[in-house]
Amino acid sequence: MSKKIVVIGSSNIDLIMQVERLPIPGETITGGIFHQTFGGKGANQAVGAARSGGDVTFVSCLGDDSFANDIIESFKEDGINTKHVFTKEGIATGTALIMIDQAGENCITVAPGANYELLPEHIDAIENTLQEASYLLLQCEIHPATLSYIIDKAWQLGVKTILNLAPARDLLEEQLAKLHLLIVNESEAAFLLKSPVDTIEQAKAAAHTLAEKVAHGVIVTLGAKGSYTVTADDAFMIAAKQVKAIDTTAAGDIFCGALTTALVEGMPLAEAIRFASAASAVAVTRLGAQDSAPTRAEIEAML
């Protein structure tokens, strides 16, 4: 069986401001500390998968600005195959503005830029690469029409697709049915079901409801409380590693990347989730998105 992972998704420049607390509307807070790093949910997933030991090809679209070459070189340093990282003239690379408070909580705004220039024609061009993949990993920071096209294409090719529904957006029932695994947090589950998911019991109920719509299973991540998983023949809770969080920005992305690596290696799902949880636990103790992604050795040390 192939051990290749294909990640299709966004790549951003992250402009980060550490502040004492998050401002309310109309308020200015001074005394912040500024950082510029590489981010984007797709790129974060790719880096998370690669550093945890995965053989990763990343598919994305960058602008023609000064950031693009630096981003590509950064991917190459992590051993990521970049032959399908496209560029679009006259468009800016995606950009995220991130504020982080002293408790590690954040608020984020994103300008998609070139991420929305990744089109179905690009997906057709990588069909051979998709066919060679064991797993396809997705999120929702690319154009909705392209995301739908990718899900359909992967289904036709028989590639197992893992989708992290972040940021949350509506999916048709027939698209959910084509997913191997759906990964959502409480707010994303609530968005899909149009009902509150504020407690662990509500999260468990949401997972069971969503699992009826997905080919193999659903993972509802619960932050510091862990995650709850439902498949066709099992349901289980996995506790999170308890650490002091500094920045939770890419925790979910790193979780997804490491999980995919573990599944490609043949780990049972529960073991793969423990591996991914350890990766996420390391990530939240560090500032930044891709900067926070741990190596395989660091994940195993956390385990």
Are 77 and 52 contacting, i.e. CB atoms less than 8 angstroms apart?
Answer: no
Q: Which of 33, 15, 50 is nearest to 288 (CA)?
A: 15
Is the model's pLDDT at 21 over the cut of 90?
Answer: yes
What's the pLDDT score for residue 1?
A: 58
Greater pLDDT, 6 or 110: 6
Residue 87's SS3 state is strand
Dihedral of alpha carbons 86, 87, 88, 91, sign: positive
Fold exhibited by the domain 4-23+31-302: UDP-N-acetylmuramoyl-L-alanine:D-glutamate ligase (3.40.1190)
What was the pLDDT predicted at 2? 72
Q: What is the pLDDT of residue 289?
A: 83
Average pLDDT over every residue of 252-279: 98
pLDDT at 234 over 90: yes
pLDDT tens-place string over residues 59-117: 999 999 989 999 999 999 999 999 999 999 999 999 989 899 988 888 989 899 999 99
Percent of all residues in the chain with a pLDDT value above 70, rounded to a whole number: 100
Domain boundary assignment for the chain: 4-23+31-302
All residues at 6 or more sequence positions from 70 whose CB lies less than 8 Å from its CB, including other chains: 38
Per-residue pLDDT reduced to its tens digit, 169-183: 999 999 999 999 999
- Model pLDDT, residue 112: 95
> Catalytic residue numbers?
253
Nearest to 208 by CA among 223, 218, 198: 218
Contact 97, 19 (CB under 8 A): no
Q: How far is CA 264 from CA 86, 158, 162, 200, 293, in A?
A: 26, 15, 12, 29, 19
pLDDT of residue 110: 86
pLDDT over 90 at 288, yes or no: no
* CA atoms in the 13 A half-sphere facing the CB of 198: 2
Which range, of 8-12, 42-46, 136-140, 284-288, averages the lowest pLDDT?
A: 284-288
pLDDT reported for residue 275:
98
- Output the average pLDDT for the chain: 95
Residue 298 has a pLDDT of 97
Q: What is the pLDDT of residue 70?
A: 94
- Residue pointed to by tokens 């099992």: 234
- Residues above pLDDT 90, as percent of the chain: 89
Confidence band, pLDDT 50/70/90 cuts, at residue 222: very high
pLDDT (0 to 100) of residue 255:
98
| Contacting residues for 210 by C-beta, under 8 A, at least 6 apart | 176, 182, 184, 189, 192, 193, 218, 220, 230
Q: How far apart are CA 242 and CA 240, in angstroms?
A: 6
Give the pLDDT score at 256. 98
Q: Which residues pair with 38 in a beta bridge?
A: 13
Using alpha carbons, list the distances in angstroms from residue 168 to 164, 189, 191: 9, 8, 7
β-strands 94-100, 81-87 pairing: unpaired
Token pair for 39: 């981010």
